Amino acid sequence: MARTPPVETKLPAVGTTIFTVMSALATEKGAVNLGQGFPDFDCDPRLVNAVTEAMQKGLNQYPPMTGIPQLREAVANKIEAMYGRKYDPVSEITITAGATQAIITAILAIVRPGDEVIVLEPCYDSYVPNIDLAGGKVVRVPLVPHTFRPDFAKIAAAITPRTRAILVNSPHNPSATVWTADEMRQLEELLAPTDIFVISDEVYEHMVYDGQQHQSAARFPGLAARSFIVSSFGKTYHVTGWKVGYVAAPAPLSVEFRKVHQFNVFTVNTPVQHGLASYMADPQPYLRLPAFYQHKRDLFRAGLARTRFELLPSEGSYFQCVDISKVSDLSEEEFCKWLTSEIGVAAIPLSVFYGNGFDQRVVRFCYAKKDETLRTALERLAKL
């Protein structure tokens, strides 16, 4: 008799994500989907042409495991120009299959069974399962509710002799806060006497507004020396489905990172790498990105200001959080389902980004959408 053996799951707490649930509900109800974080507009045709040209030139076989030299050099040059730190493109830059693969690879490279890893909640939903898969112990430290600033007293209290790493994300998903230079220096000072690694998730690095600067870990020598810095071409160039990113890390860390990278993806799409390398010769697309998204942020915030939502700051990323207390008595999750079904706009409850489901009456919208999409959503939200 044919029989499928029972599976003892490694991720018992993982089920259908709220993103899948809300996107399905948005489709069913014909709602404007401001839930999941991806653009509904096309990338620059020049980028598509550059990738197409690479394909037509026959650049379709395996590239080097660490990424093609031209792209690694372009990344190193960009980091040096923007943040003042020079990474060796040969030994310290690795091209990855998106930022999510980069993060799990970094975790698998350094986290041993029983090691503790600090995550700052609310956090991106891959962090905790990645640590679980590595056999590590998740140590959850909440950011300050509503302001989402780091609480360094709580971070310091969470550090033990078993602490192996801390995950930091700025600009922050889901809250849209941006760490200041002073906060980065506080982290640098806190970690200085330890051997704790930093995984710095900087995928929204080029989406920082109102004249602020992105405070990359690369700017701070004490952090850069212990950090895996992760970024995403998909976020920067509006091609999230291409799943290409990179990691910058000191050579000893990159050696360990590449050992894992070699055996979980080996390497990354060849023509896309060539296309990106060619496209990066012009820095203007990422240098113009703050103004591009600030326009969308301001358009969206102006419309939301005419509702009963309380707007929280959107300092970076392409997210806008709002307090729903004056709009509804429903829980965050029930409110998002109601908003999708009855008003026709999908959002995401912040409670899903916490391990304990902490509900602070805040939901998240994504404004990486065409202006007409945002206006349609705002017309519907005006009913509130």
| Sign, CA torsion 207/212/213/217 | negative
Residue 186 confidence (pLDDT) = 98
Residue 199 has pLDDT above 90, yes or no: yes
User: Over the stretch 61-102, which tens digit does the pLDDT of each residue have?
Assistant: 999 999 999 999 999 999 999 999 999 999 999 999 999 999
Q: Same domain, yes or no, for 138 and 223? A: yes
197 and 110 Cβ atoms separated by less than 8 Å:
yes
The full DSSP string for 133-192 is HTT-EEEEEEPPTTT----HHHHHHH--TTEEEEEEESS-TTT-----HHHHHHHHHHHT
Q: 350-379: buried (b, 16+ CB within 10 Å) or exposed (e) per residue?
A: bbbbbeeeeebbbbbbbbbbeeebbeebbe
Query: Which of 256, 284, 312 represents a domain boundary (last residue)?
Result: 284
Q: Same domain, yes or no, for 75 and 126? A: yes
In a domain, 5, yes or no: no
Q: Same domain, yes or no, for 320 and 274? A: no
User: Over the stretch 224-238, which tens digit does the pLDDT of each residue have?
Assistant: 999 999 999 999 999
Mean pLDDT score of the chain = 97
User: Over the stretch 292-344, which tens digit does the pLDDT of each residue have?
Assistant: 999 999 999 999 999 999 999 999 999 999 999 999 999 999 999 999 999 99
Residue 16 has pLDDT above 90, yes or no: no
The two tokens of residue 273 are: 């790498």
Residue 361 has pLDDT above 90, yes or no: yes
Q: How far is CA 117 from CA 111, 200, 222, in A?
A: 8, 13, 19
Count CB neighbours of 176 within 10 A.
25
Residue 15 confidence (pLDDT) = 83
Residue 40 confidence (pLDDT) = 94
CA atoms within 13 A on the CB side of 24: 6
Residue 18 confidence (pLDDT) = 81
Percent over 90 (pLDDT), the chain: 96
| Domain tally, the chain | 2
Residue 20 has pLDDT above 90, yes or no: no
In a domain, 48, yes or no: no
**Which domain, by its residues, includes 303?**
18-43+287-381
In a domain, 7, yes or no: no
Q: Same domain, yes or no, for 38 and 69? A: no
CATH number, domain with residue 24: 3.90.1150.10
In a domain, 117, yes or no: yes
Residue 36 has pLDDT above 90, yes or no: no
* E strand map for the chain: 32-33, 93-96, 116-121, 137-142, 163-169, 197-201, 227-232, 245-248, 310-311, 319-323, 345-346, 348-349, 362-366
pLDDT classification of 21: cutoffs 50, 70, 90: confident
**Distance, CA of 103 to chain centre:** 10
User: How far apart are alpha carbons 244 and 201 in whole angstroms?
Assistant: 14
Residue 13 confidence (pLDDT) = 87
User: How far apart are alpha carbons 170 and 202 in whole angstroms?
Assistant: 6
User: Over the stretch 112-149, which tens digit does the pLDDT of each residue have?
Assistant: 999 999 999 999 999 999 999 999 999 999 999 999 99
Query: Which of 264, 284, 304 represents a domain boundary (last residue)?
Result: 284
In a domain, 249, yes or no: yes
Percent over 70 (pLDDT), the chain: 100
Location of structure tokens 């302001």? 147
Radius of gyration in angstroms for the set of CA atoms belonging to the chain, rounded to a whole number: 21
In a domain, 122, yes or no: yes
Query: Which of 240, 255, 284 represents a domain boundary (last residue)?
Result: 284
Identify the DSSP state of 125.
Answer: T
175 and 280 Cβ atoms separated by less than 8 Å:
no
CATH number, domain with residue 172: 3.40.640.10
**Distance, CA of 100 to chain centre:** 8
Q: Same domain, yes or no, for 107 and 242? A: yes
347 and 324 Cβ atoms separated by less than 8 Å:
no
The two tokens of residue 145 are: 């509710």
Per-residue pLDDT, averaged over 161-181, amounts to 98
Residue 19 has pLDDT above 90, yes or no: no
Per-residue pLDDT, averaged over 141-158, amounts to 97
